[in-house]
């Protein structure tokens, strides 16, 4: 079974996101050659990306003679695949509605897959959510990793807005901040194993 942080790591690549968007936008799914025509990616890259997305359960391959058609029916046995599919389809519907209204809509995951593409960062977020915030020393004790490594991950999470440092009782405490977009909130909730509506 693929760990969710590995799925997030796949979604960091813009090429895979373009393919995912194309497959989810096609009614009958797409073959590798159709993906190449729609996205402009090279055939070897498109083929590899589709295989990786299928392995993580975000698309399903269906053999049609000598070719394989990739459809947007996510594998329900893969953790988070169905939720990502539903969120992507909802965001696609919103994009179409806004295009018809003449509003430009930017379809994106944002920085969230990058942030969740590392086990250590997910562990830090889980720890902070369980305690309602912690000092650096408390996080160091809980994580059991070198101070430099922890500061690196905390810095990345703070830089991208998922963490905030607040001074309370003369000590800096790190707290988790909710992402702003619905799709991003869903990814964070899946990674942390919480289905809260922030």
* Tens of pLDDT, residue by residue, the chain (198 residues): 457 777 777 777 778 878 888 888 787 889 999 999 988 899 999 999 999 888 888 888 999 888 899 988 766 666 777 777 666 666 666 665 555 555 544 445 556 677 777 888 888 888 888 777 788 888 888 888 899 999 999 998 888 778 888 886 777 888 888 776 666 677 777 777 764 544
Calpha distance 159→182 (Å, rounded): 20
The reported pLDDT for the residue numbered 89 is: 65
The reported pLDDT for the residue numbered 108 is: 52
Evaluate whether 115 touches 157 at the Cβ level (below 8 Å). yes
The reported pLDDT for the residue numbered 183 is: 63
- Find all residues with CB under 8 Å of 191, minimum gap 6, and list them: 4, 5, 8, 116, 122, 125
Look at the pTM and tell me if it is higher than 0.95. Answer: no
User: CA dist 46 to 13, 22, 76, 177, Å?
Assistant: 12, 11, 24, 35
């Amino acid at each position: 079974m693929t760990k969710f942080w590995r799925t997030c790591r796949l979604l960091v690549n813009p090429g895979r996101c373009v393919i995912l968007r194309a497959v989810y936008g096609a009614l009958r799914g797409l073959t590798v050659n159709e993906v190449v025509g729609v996205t402009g990616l090279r055939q070897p890259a498109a083929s590899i990306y589709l295989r990786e997305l299928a392995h993580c359960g975000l698309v399903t391959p269906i053999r049609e003679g000598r070719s394989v058609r990739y459809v947007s029916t996510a594998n329900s046995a893969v953790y988070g695949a169905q939720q990502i599919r539903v969120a992507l389809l909802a965001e696609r519907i919103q994009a179409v509605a806004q295009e018809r209204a003449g509003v430009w809509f930017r379809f994106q995951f944002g920085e969230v897959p990058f942030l969740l593409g590392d086990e250590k960062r997910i562990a830090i977020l889980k720890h902070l959510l369980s305690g309602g915030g912690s000092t650096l020393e408390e996080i160091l004790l809980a994580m059991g990793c070198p101070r430099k490594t922890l500061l690196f991950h905390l810095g990345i999470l703070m830089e991208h807005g998922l963490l905030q440092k607040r001074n309370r009782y003369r000590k800096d405490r790190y707290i988790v901040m909710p992402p702003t977009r619905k799709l991003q909130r869903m990814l964070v909730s899946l990674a942390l194993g919480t289905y809260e509506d922030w």
